[in-house]
Amino acid sequence: TAVASSVAAAAAVSAAAQQHAAGTDLGIFVVTAGSERFLRRARQAVRTWAEGREEVIFVAAGASELPGGRYVEAVPCADGPGASEAVCCKVVEGFHLALQRFPAAQWLVMASD
């Protein structure tokens, strides 16, 4: 189907971008949440300061599509009432993902939305 082709194409572009970004000396991950309020902020970041920056990834409890073929990547953490516990989990998982994605990074930067 067209949707499956679109998803496959986006995955291929994402994989190529990840391979290119793996050689960077900086990795930035943004911890956010899956609610519309936080997704709006992630979309705005992708349109402004994170535009074209492959060293920036977004992590949250659930995956979501962002502009420009970017995604909020799902981590196995909860959103919700235990906000401090959820943020701690997302930070740890975000660091883990950033270390995998940017193995040559000399600096990892975490931003919390």
Q: Which residue has the higher pLDDT, 46 or 16?
A: 46
Banded model confidence at residue 13, pLDDT cuts 50, 70, 90: very low
* pLDDT, tens only, 91-112: 889 899 999 999 988 999 988 8
The DSSP string of 40-76 is: HHHHHHHHTTTTT-TTEEEEESS-EE-GGG-EEEE-S
Q: Is 52 exposed, middle or buried (0-12, 13-18, 19+ CB in 10 A)?
A: exposed
In this prediction, residue 80 has a pLDDT band, given cuts at 50, 70 and 90, of low
CB 66 within 8 A of CB 44: no
Q: Give the closest residue to 18 by CA, choosing from 87, 97, 83.
A: 97
Q: How much is the pTM?
A: 0.69
